[in-house]
Structure 1
Amino acid sequence: MAYVTGTALLAAFVVGCSADTGTGGSAADSKSGTETVAAAAPGKYRTLPEPCRAVESSTLKDLLPGAAELAEDQQRKVYEGTATVTYDTDRRVGCRWKSEGSSSSHSLFIDFERVVSYDPAVSDDDRAREVYTRKETAAGLSSPSATPDATESAESGDGKGEKKQTPPAGSDEASGDTSGDTSESTSHSLTGPTPDGKSTDDENTDDGAGTPDESLQPRILDDLGDSAFLDDLLTRAGSTAQHRTVKVVFRTSNVIVTVEYTEQPAVSTAVPDSKELQEKAQALARKLVDEFSE
């Protein structure tokens, strides 16, 4: 009787397994041929400007005329502005200025938000476009440049095929766009009471014929950044005080900028001029766009 040693038996087993390589080889080949999806491109901007230094002193003097009535040290304090408190200054920063004059008070607010996508399949620019579209929709405006998917995402709050992420505290996605929100009575209308207390539709007209100037209505701005809109709100607090706030919001790549310019006359029946406020707010927004383009 012949006996097979343990070593010889193990060698035969290894040779047999090595000979049957058809299945193992094809599996390896199939794995090596698997396509990988590249991560979406990061946004153009990795940092944000210092907000309280983003507006030139000459511009601040024009936007805050009441400061000229103050002493020099008080003027300096007004023009320095006050930085808004944020949780992440790499993601969001802002600054506020306010001046009180004998005839009216003015305030200015700017906000810079750098949008970051936490989904590797969605670029920072695409996520910023979604955030901007939500702001535009909240203002009651729609942009012809907005994509159907972005619009649907804005309306439903859930983009197609994207994973819902939990954004960091303090971001626009987490807190919502509350800039300009108020519990006071607010109207997008460009009309208002006259000094004798009567309501009229003759405010802000081109020719004084009683027809509101359509060019001053809240609208999409076609020549400011990648996307932009303007909103005009007349707000009444009770039966006396009222103020008008013009808001300009624009997107440049993955950064969204908000400019809010407000005037409140000392005389409660006076109505701030939309045309002047809108022109000044837009002029500032264009300067900020140029700063990002440099």
Structure 2
Amino acid sequence: MQRKAYVSGAAVLLAALLAGCTGGPDEGSSPPDSKSGNAGTTAPAAQPGKYRTLPQACTAADHDTLDALLPGIRQSTDERQQEKLYEGEASVTYNTDRRDGCNWKVESTSATDHLFVDFERVVSYDTAVSDDDKAEELYTVRETAADLPEPSPSASASGDDASPSPSDGTGTPAGDGGDEGDGKGDGSGTPSASASPSGTPTALQPRVLDGLGDQAFLDDKLNTGSSTAQQRTVTVVFRTSNVIVTIEYAEQPTASTDTPDSEEMQDRAWKLARELADKLNG
């Protein structure tokens, strides 16, 4: 007589459990990479920025440029002191490939001039955001914080909002007598630029700049709240790829009755910005 196979209930349960452990994932389960939707694939990383290093800020400007910005250097009769003034003072930084800055402060017979140059190389740690996009984001924050006024219709029509007037090489914009910008005529019947309440000629007010890097703006502030001489500070910020460059140029006259010339200072700062942009591009 043939015997029937007999399997205990415990054996059947064990077989079912083993089948569940070795089988594939259920249809409703999530794949390992929820971003791509396919296991083993990743999204492509954003492109790195153009720049991997930075120029040295203290040697980025040549002596002729520093002479124009800081007239007190040429007035120094001590050669060793003069050389020290040219060198400036490097900013404290822990990685000069990421940030490098330099300060100059020079007294002359008519004023005290201060210059600050800063290079910042932006690196994005988000693989979905490129270095350039991160730099653009940081630059936009700076421009927004500057609270630039809307360009006047006359300035926009004439193109005066693009950049300071070209200079004749003496620090004075070509075609004017050097004392323009105070809201008065020059005595020759030719009107000068009208002045705003801040003391800056309307055509030279803070504005976005064209033709300098990928993005650029200029700010111009006159400190009128002090009982001493008025100090003017011209700031130029521009971005080239993943590098943001900042220039701060300030002047405080020795005589309390004097006011720093806006057009002259903007022209000097603009020339330095172009020189630094060329330095970056090698």
Which of 28, 34, 44 aligns to 1:38? It is 44
Residue 123 (structure 1) aligned with residue 111 (structure 2): no
1:109-167 Cα distance to aligned partner (Å, 9 max, x none): 10011111122211111111111011101111389xxxxxxxxxxxxxxxxxxxxxxxx
Aligned to 2:280: 292
Which of 87, 90, 102 aligns to 1:95? It is 102
**Contact 2:55-2:279 within 8 A present in 1 as well:** no
- Kindly tell me: are residues 38 and 142 of structure 1, through their superposed partners in 2, closer, same or farther at Cα, counting changes over 3 Å? farther
Q: CA deviation at 1:105?
A: 1.8
Residue 47 (structure 1) aligned with residue 53 (structure 2): yes
1:187-266 equivalences under 5 Å are 201-202=183-184, 207-208=190-191, 211-212=194-195, 213-236=201-224, 238-266=226-254
- In structure 2, distance between residues paired with 1:142 and 1:238: 24
1:23-172 equivalences under 5 Å are 34=38, 36-70=42-76, 71-141=78-148
- Superposition CA RMSD, Å: 3.5
Q: CA deviation at 1:201?
A: 4.7
- Kindly tell me: are residues 273 and 209 of structure 1, through their superposed partners in 2, closer, same or farther at Cα, counting changes over 3 Å? closer
Letter matched to residue 50 of structure 1? Q
Q: CA deviation at 1:207?
A: 4.5
Aligned to 1:179: none
- In structure 2, distance between residues paired with 1:83 and 1:233: 25
- In structure 2, distance between residues paired with 1:203 and 1:113: 42
Q: Secondary structure at the match of 2:65?
A: helix
Aligned to 2:198: none
Q: Secondary structure at the match of 1:241?
A: coil
- In structure 2, distance between residues paired with 1:90 and 1:78: 24
- In structure 2, distance between residues paired with 1:72 and 1:282: 28
Q: CA deviation at 1:24?
A: 5.8
Alignment TM-score, normalising by the size of structure 2:
0.71
1:90-113 Cα distance to aligned partner (Å, 9 max, x none): 321100112111111212110011
- Kindly tell me: are residues 89 and 237 of structure 1, through their superposed partners in 2, closer, same or farther at Cα, counting changes over 3 Å? farther
Structure 2 unmatched ranges of 5 or more: 151-181, 196-200
Structure 1 unmatched ranges of 5 or more: 144-199
How many pairs does the alignment contain? 233
Moved more, 218-227 or 101-110: 101-110
Alignment TM-score, normalising by the size of structure 1:
0.68
Following TM superposition, where does structure 1 have runs of at least 4 consecutive aligned residues deviating by more than 3 angstroms? 1-4, 23-27, 30-33, 200-204, 206-210
- In structure 2, distance between residues paired with 1:210 and 1:276: 13
Letter matched to residue 278 of structure 2? D
- Kindly tell me: are residues 225 and 53 of structure 1, through their superposed partners in 2, closer, same or farther at Cα, counting changes over 3 Å? same
Q: Secondary structure at the match of 1:76?
A: helix
Aligned to 1:160: none
Q: CA deviation at 1:236?
A: 3.8
**Contact 2:183-2:192 within 8 A present in 1 as well:** no
Aligned to 2:265: 277
- Kindly tell me: are residues 139 and 100 of structure 1, through their superposed partners in 2, closer, same or farther at Cα, counting changes over 3 Å? same
- Kindly tell me: are residues 233 and 203 of structure 1, through their superposed partners in 2, closer, same or farther at Cα, counting changes over 3 Å? farther
Identity %: 53
Letter matched to residue 90 of structure 1? D
Looking at secondary structure, tell me which structure has more helix per residue.
1
Q: CA deviation at 1:209?
A: 5.5
